Amino acid sequence: MTANAVSGRTGVFALLGSPVGHSLSPAIHNASFAQLGLDYVYLCHDVEADGIGEAVAGARALGYAGLNVTMPCKAAVVDHLDALSPAAELMGAVNTVECAGGRLVGHNTDGAGLLRSIAEEGFEIAGSRMVVIGAGGAGSAAFTQAALDGAARIAVFKRRDASFAAAAERVAAVSDRTGADMAFADAADRAALAAEVEAADIVVDATRAGMAPLEGVSNVEAEWMRPGQAIVDTVYHPRETKLLALAARSGARPIGGLGMLLWQAAVAEEIWLGASMPVERIRAAIEAEG
């Protein structure tokens, strides 16, 4: 991808979180800035949750143009910002910080990015029946944005662990705030999961299933899928997870996580700069590099 020339006038964006050495965000944003002719550079800073306040204060003092935030800092950063978007407030997590006239405004583009990646495959969110497996950062972003965008029904499944009750409360809060028809259940209830998947238009797996060391795991059985469904995996490495392979064989539409990654970055650039990222050109470059 094209490298940007850096000068004394170059604006700075950065990703805060840990670890960040593996992130594709610098490649995506720096390629976008170069292709759009924008004098910015995108960096990564390794920051733990207990250091996020100092990092944000430093970025504010240094006049950074904007920030992205990743794990483990998405929730911790909230207390160090001046305002939150409606989606970020509902999610209780921020992945994008807008520097607007000295004020730091937190947004969450994960959900919008995911739903755009689904929409570009021809699926309407408004009026759809959706299943979301997982209620962590990606899952919460998915069901919150889907509720905001008018999904007819959203069934959320999560494994029963220490955060189960808190996740149930978040689902209920999103339902109350948006009026969306939402259900929450234990992912171990396979009969309930099967019934919801079979009736769904869009199924989103927002867990680590499919990633190393869980490459051979799919939370959804092939016999639950049907032609015409969108089967979405938020994992982007590997490109084809077991879930997506099963979807392809079942006649469903498999949608991988790279589109979510690209579109959440594109939405962030819209917020920061009012610019339209050349998503397809950057997708092609990333896929060419493997």
Q: Are 182 and 272 contained in the same domain?
A: no
Q: Are 32 and 130 contained in the same domain?
A: no
Residue 57's alpha-carbon distances to 35, 97, 109, in angstroms, are: 30, 12, 22
Q: Are 92 and 166 contained in the same domain?
A: no
Give a yes or no: residue 6 inside a domain.
Answer: no
Q: List, in order, residues 6 or more apart from 36 with CB less than 8 Å away.
A: 275, 277, 278
Q: Are 128 and 233 contained in the same domain?
A: yes
Give a yes or no: residue 3 inside a domain.
Answer: no
Q: How confident is the model at residue 3, as a pLDDT?
A: 60
Ranges of the chain whose pLDDT falls below 70 = 1-4, 290
Q: How confident is the model at residue 105, as a pLDDT?
A: 98
Q: Where in the sequence is the domain holding 50, given as residue range(s)?
A: 11-108+260-288
Q: Are 76 and 146 contained in the same domain?
A: no
Task: Report pLDDT digits (tens) over 52-106.
Answer: 999 999 999 999 999 999 989 999 999 999 999 999 999 989 999 999 888 999 9
Q: Are 98 and 30 contained in the same domain?
A: yes
Q: How confident is the model at residue 288, as a pLDDT?
A: 84
Q: Are 140 and 243 contained in the same domain?
A: yes
Residue 173 one-letter amino acid: A
Q: How confident is the model at residue 235, as a pLDDT?
A: 93
The token pair at 102 is 């000295």
Give a yes or no: residue 2 inside a domain.
Answer: no
Task: Evaluate whether 41 touches 13 at the Cβ level (below 8 Å).
Answer: yes
Q: How confident is the model at residue 237, as a pLDDT?
A: 87
The token pair at 181 is 């028809």
Q: Are 211 and 245 contained in the same domain?
A: yes
Q: Are 115 and 204 contained in the same domain?
A: yes
Q: How confident is the model at residue 20, as a pLDDT?
A: 95
Q: Which residues are catalytic?
A: 74
- For position 43, which CATH number holds? 3.40.50.10860
Q: How many domains does the chain have?
A: 2
Task: Evaluate whether 14 touches 43 at the Cβ level (below 8 Å).
Answer: yes
Query: Nearest 5°: phi and psi at 123?
Result: -105, 135
Q: Are 187 and 209 contained in the same domain?
A: yes
Q: How confident is the model at residue 45, as a pLDDT?
A: 98
Q: Are 100 and 115 contained in the same domain?
A: no
Q: Are 65 and 150 contained in the same domain?
A: no
Query: Nearest 5°: phi and psi at 155?
Result: -105, 120
